[in-house]
Amino acid sequence: MKSVKVQLAEKLPLAGLRFLVTRQDSPEISLTKMLQTQGASVLTAQMTQIVAPVSWESFDAATLQVSKIDWAIFSSRNGVHHCQKRLNELGLLTQIIFSNIKTACIGQATATALSDLGITPELVPEHFQSEGLISAFGQYDLHKKLCWLIQAESARKILPAALEKAGAQLITTPVYRNIPETRDYSFLLTELEDNKLDWVLFASPSAVNNFHNVIPAGFWSSLTIVPKIACLGEITAAAVRHFGWNVEAQPDIQDFEHLVKMLCKIKSDNINSR
């Protein structure tokens, strides 16, 4: 006879499903725990590392001219975290640095990270991509406004190009970079070959690219059962489709909470359709 604990676990929305999480969980947010709370089994295989930029020179220089800056623009929660970390290393208080600067950010998770530091974003677009922020900036006069882009190395060029077209002056400072994780992934290939994974979850294009590099040529298409793929964001989804793979889940709101909700709904819909 099954225990009450086991019976309750089997009633959770994602019970019976096994997910591959390809990102590193952080103390602030854990996709793994969110999935497990809903009854899922989770395998983690981090595809990228987030490390410091090659140089802090441009960022450190920007902190010396904050009185001239009109807008600070954050593209991710990681940008907020590593910005604050560097300011702490410089002996500077984040709230003071941004006290007289308007802030804009991409995504509710980024906005929450700023709010946790006591910074209320002026602008958070409904569409959580650079294109959404560009559209939202349409209500502001950016002519000769000094905008400080705080982002990853090798970030997309669409946002700075649009800001410059609107007449803004830019300071671009990388505060982190994604590099491929180097480790033995044979355990992952075994899981895939043994059909033990139902879903693979990606949160960045770099994770998609490294996953593709990890698996041997032709391996994915040779699987007896191909796992479904879920993504955060259109850029990540585009990276998946670039390799000819299908995207089965992509929430409109780009955060982990809405991703997990969508996965639960898909599972529920599949059960109800039987």
Sheet holding 102-105, edge to edge: 48-51, 169-180, 146-152, 71-74, 102-105
Q: Give the Cα separation of 175 and 54 in Å (integer).
A: 9
Q: What is the pLDDT along the chain (274 residues), one digit of tens a residue?
A: 454 344 445 689 999 999 999 998 876 778 999 999 999 999 999 999 989 999 999 999 999 999 999 999 998 888 999 999 999 999 999 999 999 999 999 878 888 899 999 999 999 887 667 777 888 888 999 999 999 999 988 777 888 999 999 999 999 999 999 899 989 999 999 999 999 999 999 998 999 999 999 999 999 999 999 999 999 888 899 999 999 999 999 998 778 888 999 999 999 888 776 6
Q: Give the Cα separation of 127 and 163 in Å (integer).
A: 17
Structure tokens at 116: 């946790």
Instruction: Judge if pTM exceeds 0.85.
Output: no
Residue 67 has what DSSP assignment?
Answer: G
Phi, psi of 119 (to 5 degrees): -115, 120
Phi, psi of 27 (to 5 degrees): -60, -30
Domains of the chain: 14-47+181-272 (3.40.50.10090), 51-179 (3.40.50.10090)
Phi, psi of 91 (to 5 degrees): 75, 25
Note the helical H segments in the chain. Answer: 4-10, 31-37, 57-63, 77-89, 94-97, 108-116, 130-136, 158-165, 186-193, 205-214, 219-222, 234-242, 256-272
